[in-house]
Structures are given as structure tokens and as C-alpha cells.
Chain A
Amino acid sequence: MVFGVVTWLGVYTRQEALKTEAAKANGEAWVTWFKDEGKKRFEANYANPACAGGDTAKAVAVAVAVNAAPALPAAPGLPEAKASEAAAPASAAAPASAAAPAAATSAAGTWGGCLEQLMLNSSLKNQSNPFTGKPPRLTETCVGSNIKLAGDIDIDKSVATPPGSAVAFVKSNLTSTDSIKEKLQLTITVCDKGGYPIKISDVEF
């Protein structure tokens, strides 16, 4: 019986560990996307205008209406979670994109516009949160012990502080209204099964 129990526990913990690995893989996919697109988005004929940067950034009319949001439930990173869910006990974990829905995200040259576009066209739309089976949400931050955040993705931007400041960079959550016309230094983090952050990588976008 003891052999049976310890074997089952071993298999169970391994499965849980594999879920964390899958969550990390989701984060790594975001890193890869940022890395790849970050190299191209300042070029003149960049294929994804909503995410374009620099002077070549075009005003993109992202015609995603508020009522279009339900059409994206499978879109990873995009809020399946509605306001009601965002206001749920896991409010700290309320998806960043839940605050971002359509109304604010249609602005050209912002992260919101880019996010909507990439959720429609990139391979990231097919991601699945291994802990919930649903698409991973973008969260403001990973909070240890908040297991409702398990598998969520946190994207932070680092902004340089004026010369002479005590710290060289300040990190804050990448919000939908943030401009992406300039190069961004991003940190991708994934929440593990306990809600604790697992830093995936720093990347330039």
C-alpha cells in the first residue's frame, strides 16, 4: 500500500511539474514573439502595422468593437474574464487585458492595439493555461499564494529613470494604453501553480 501511495504521489507531482513547464513554455512563446517582432517592427514594410514602432508607425484603426470581445474567448491573453470575474476575489489577479477591452485598445501605436491584433493573427492565440485549460490571462502581477493566478502571464516594462536617480530603471505593468512607438524593455513572468512568479526572460520589443 505504501509503495502504491508513494508511486501515485510521484506521478501526481510530476504531472503538476509538467503543468508548470507548459506554463513556462507559454511564457517562452511570448518572449520569442516579442524578440522576433521587436527586430522587424521598426522596418518600413512591417507586416503587422498595429505593432509597428517608430516614425513608420501607422495609425491603425482597429475595428474591434466592445461587442466583438466575446468573439475572442479562445484568444489567449485576451479576457475571457469579464468585469464580473475581474472583480472576483482574485482581483489582484484581474487580467490586465480585462481592463483593456476594446474601448481602450483601438488606439493605434499602443500595446492594446497590438495585443488585439496579435491575438487574432499570431500563434499565441492558441495558447492554453495548463492549470485551467483556458487561454492564459495577462495579469498585472504574480502574487504568491494566490493560486487563481496559476499559469497567467505578467508583462512588465522597464522605464529608464532620469540620470542621477537612485535606481536606473522602474518596472511597471505594460498596460493597453502604453505607447509602443519606441523600443520597449520587457520582462515576461509566468505565475506558477502557487501564484509565485517565474521569470522567463527580459526582452527588447
Chain B
Amino acid sequence: MKSENSISIKDLDVTHIVGGETEAQISSDLPMRKWLHAWLLDPHIPGNHQKGFDRWIGILIVVNLFALVFEHVPAVYEANKQFFHYFDIFSVGVFTFEYLLRLYLAPEDEEFKNKSNPHARYVSSPFAIIDFLAVAPFYLQAFIPIDLRVLRFLRLLRILKLFRVIVPAYHEFVLLNKGRSFRQRMHALMFAGPFGGKLQEFFNGFIGIWVLISVFAVVMESVHSVSYILHVEFVILDSIAVAIFTIEYCMRIYCCVEEPRFNHALAGRIKQAKEPSTMIDFLAILPFFLEVFLHHLIDLRFLRVFRLARLLKLTRGSDSTATLGRVIKREWPVIAAAGFIMMLLVVLTASLGYLFEHEAQPDKFDNIPNSIYWAVITLASVGYGDISPITPAGRAMTIVLALIGIGIFAIPAALLSTAFSDELVKERNALKVRIHDILADGVIDQKEMVFIRTESKRLHLDVDEINTLIQQVRQELEDKANFSAMPIHTIAGNPEHAVEHFKSLLSTIRQLTLLTDPVMFEKVAVSKDRLSASEWALWQQIQAKS
């Protein structure tokens, strides 16, 4: 039985399901304030600029936070003082504009429009106070001399503006998880599902941002001039990143038992810990702990480079990596065969190269391993030129080698590319079959909507492509809607089908009454007592109407 949230196939709005761009339906005849509110701040109008507006403000807040951090690094701040100043002016300008805009549009806001003085109500609301505090110190310093450190501290208040996005997401999360246990709530936050809501997306985004920050820090640490100046900052940054990733790891291990496949207190958690993505999480934090605890025993500095493995954390949300893994697994025999041929070719040509060139260039072709290096560089069309043949036989062989190399090295790449594309086609076909099943009953429930949305995102299908798929399925379903071929209980199981079938039957009877000779029909029916009383009454009724 479908829930009340189900949508009939006739009312299907693919853009809504897939979450694609829609054009906002906002009348240009609206009064200016209403029109502006509808375009910029109304969260209930799909396709307006509300989300974009919030997103850019959010980005500016985060950039402000970074600016504030870098202002505390004299080497960075002193050299770019002017830039920091202009950026501050720009930020305050944007935030002031936002504050004034919200103040102006307060009478249109759902929260304030029914109150006596919407402007005053807005000014005294918590979010407006936060917005005010974010810009006030800048204007205040024009009148009162404020200590630079106090000013910077006050500017930290700008971060509070993020609450404008986080608080509604938190409320939604609380609502979705009402009556659920602490572990279940944690699970909702960590694992994608119907209870996570926006907060889960924010959490994933937060982890993603920290992955990028920490990887960027690792890369910049290798630049001596930067790491010399920012050594402590890099250490603090790495500590914070590890703290966040460690907490995330522990949370995931703690709440994974809420997932059906890890549903066992110990075995489930071990199974989760053995998952590739969780192993990556573990490897992302391991170097830090090993270095802290064992640095006085062994030199573990080489482990630092493994911090770059944190980038792999980003693959958790991506199915493309899993698809690539499946493709490699599927094509492994062919790839292995190509690899074998390649190896054979390398060893043979390296041996021949050694044979032809060793005497002429004993310093370069001094042994077969060195010749292997030359063979691989030549076969792969890299051609560094540090080792090259000088004998006629060696040169002739190099010509053959270079020509063969182009084909041999291209085989695995072509194989993977074709297999990857095949896999995508296969998955799209599977989605089509699934959509077919979903639409078979004529309605789509919430769960099915989520499935279509997730799969279309995973397979990079846009609204038009999903629409085409749905149209195809609709057509196929209509073709199949030849009710005469369907068992009556199947038709009866679906009220939509039942009504259509009933109409179809009535239409057939009407056609019959029109085409047959009514006099002869009645004569046969009456004389041979072929119709019951009720059937006779129905015949009379239909004929009268027709």
C-alpha cells in the first residue's frame, strides 16, 4: 500500500524528484519588496536565488575566518596588510548590505509579517543581533579607538552568522530524529539516510573541507619558505584535522551497528573497521598518532606523506571509484594478459638492448636492469633521452620498439575506457528497469523518489535524461495496458486500471449495441432465455442511453 506522500505517475514532476534547476515562478507585477523577497529570501520558492544567496554569504564567512587566522601570522599579515584591509571593507560591505536587505524585507518574512512592527521585531531577533554584531565593530572603530586584538576578537563573531544555516538544519534534524536514541541520531549524522536531512549534508561538507585544508597544508609544508614561517600554524592545523577525523572515526565505529549490515556489537564494528573507506579513515589519522607516541624510538617522518591519503576520504561519497574498481575487476583477465605481453616485450627488448649496446656504451647499458629502464621509457613514449642506443642494431630495434610500444601501452587504457563506458550503460539500463518497476503501479512514493534522485546523481543523469527514461517506460506501460491480456485480479488490484478497464468494457458494450441489430438481439435473447433479468435490464438501460 502506498503512503499518502505518493505521487501519481500523471502528476510526476521529474525536476522536483531529481532536484534539478527549475525556473522560479515569480510574477513581475508584484510590489517591489514582495518581488525582492520572493527572489532573494523566500525559501519556499523553488528556482529563486535564496539558496545561492545563502551559499555565497556562507562562503564569505568561511573566507573571513581564514583571513582572521592569517592575520595572526605576522609574516603573512605584514606583507599583505593592504589586501586584508580591503577584504575587510568588502566583507563588511556585503554583510551590511545583507543586514539592511533583511531589515527592509522583514515585513515579507513569514516570521515577522504578522507581528505589529516587523522591522523592530527583526532587529531584536537573535539572527539579526548576530548579523549586527558581525559588522558593528568595524563602524565602531571609526568613532572609538578599539584595540586591534579586541577588534579581531569581535570579528570572530562573524562566524556566528553560520548559525543562520546551521540552526534550521539542526531543528530539521531534531524533528526527523524525535524519539530516537543517541546512537541512532549519531548514525543519522554519519550515514546517508532518511533521518540525516540537511545537517548530514553539512557534516559531510565539513569533513570534506577539512580534508582539503589538511591536504593543502601537507603540500604547502613541503615548501621550505612557507613551512619555516608557518610551522606552528601547520602543526595546529594538522592537530585540529586529526582531532576531527579521529572523532569522526570513533563516531562511525560506535554507531555503525545501526546499519543492517553491521548489526552486531563486536563483529559488526570489526566488519565496519575492515571496510576500505573506514581503513582509509584510519590511515588518515594513524601517522599522526604513531609520530606522537613513537617519535623518540624510531624515525617516522616518512609516514607524514601518508597524510595525503586523506584525499581518499573524499571518495566515500563517490560511487565512481567503486565503478572503476568493478570495471578493473571485470576486465582483470584482459588487463593481466596485456600486462603480461608488456612485461614480455620489456624483458626481451631490454635483453636485446643490453646485447647490442653493452660493448658500445658500458656505462649506460651496464646491466639488464638499466636496459629495462631504457626499454620502458622508450615503450611508454616518454623518451627522456638520458640513455639512447648508438649502434645500428640498437637503433633499428628502438624503431620497432617505439612503434610496438604505442599499441601495447594503449591497450589497457582503451580497455579500461571501454569497460568503464559499458559499465555506465549497464547501470543506466538497470536504472531504467528499476524505474519501470517503480512506475508499474502508477505511483511513486517517497522512498522511490529518493532512489531515483540518488541514482540519477550517481549516474550523472540530468532532468532531460530521466524524463526520456520515464517517457520510455510510460510508453511501454501504455503498450502493456492492453487490459484484455491482463488477469482480472491484476487489473482490480489497481483502482486506476480498474476504472480504465471498466470504461473500456462499457465502450465495448456500447459499440456492440450500435453495431448489432437490436431487434434480432432481443428476439434471440428473449426466445432462448439467454439473459437473466438483471442482464436484460442492463441491456435496456445501455441501449436507451446509447
Contact = CB atoms under 8 A, between A and B. Distances in A.
B292 A2 contact: no
Contacts, number: 55
B291 to A, nearest CB: 9
A20 to B, nearest CB: 6
B201 to A, nearest CB: 24
B224 A2 contact: no
A10 B231 contact: no
B322 interface: no
Q: Please classify how large the interface on chain B is, using the bins under 10, 10 to 19, 20 to 34, 35 or more.
A: 20 to 34
Interface string B291-307: 01001101101000000
A70 interface: no
Contacts of A9: 239, 242-243, 288-289, 292
A194 B246 contact: no
A56 B228 CA distance: 38
B246 A193 contact: no
Given A2-B250, A6-B246, A194-B295, A21 B231 contact: yes
Contacts of B299: 144-145, 194
A14 B301 contact: no
Contacts of A196: 301
A169 interface: no
B338 to A, nearest CB: 41
Contacts of B298: 145
Given A17-B235, A20-B231, A7 B301 contact: no
Nearest to B233: A17
Nearest to B249: A2
B232 interface: yes
B73 interface: no
A154 to B, nearest CB: 16
Given A194-B301, A199-B224, A2 B247 contact: yes
Given A12-B292, A14-B232, A2 B246 contact: yes
A10 B241 CA distance: 10
A14 B247 contact: no
Contacts of B235: 13-14, 16-17
A24 B229 CA distance: 10
A199 B235 CA distance: 18
Q: Most chain-A CB neighbours within 10 Å: which of B232, B236, B247?
A: B232
B72 to A, nearest CB: 14
B240 interface: yes
A97 to B, nearest CB: 26
A120 interface: no
Interface on chain A toward B: helix, strand, loop, or mixed SS?
A: helix
A198 interface: yes
Q: Most chain-B CB neighbours within 10 Å: which of A3, A13, A16, A24?
A: A13
Contacts of A6: 239, 242-243, 246-247
B239 A13 contact: yes
Interface string A1-43: 0110111011011101110110010000000000000000000
Contact of A10 (B232, B236, B295): B236
Nearest to B247: A2
A147 B301 contact: no
A17 B224 CA distance: 16
B247 A13 contact: no
B224 to A, nearest CB: 7
Contacts of B232: 14, 17-18, 21
Nearest to A12: B292
Nearest to B297: A147
A32 B24 CA distance: 66
A7 B243 contact: yes
Contact of B247 (A3, A16, A147, A194): A3
Given A144-B299, A194-B301, A198-B228, A10 B247 contact: no
Contacts of A145: 298-299, 301
Interface in B468-495: none
Contacts of B243: 6-7, 9-10
A144 B304 CA distance: 14
17 contacts: A3-B247, A5-B246, A6-B243, A7-B243, A9-B242, A9-B288, A10-B240, A12-B292, A14-B236, A16-B235, A17-B231, A17-B235, A20-B231, A145-B301, A147-B295, A194-B295, A194-B299
Given A14-B239, A147-B295, 9 more contacts: A6-B242, A6-B246, A7-B243, A9-B243, A12-B292, A14-B236, A18-B232, A147-B296, A193-B295
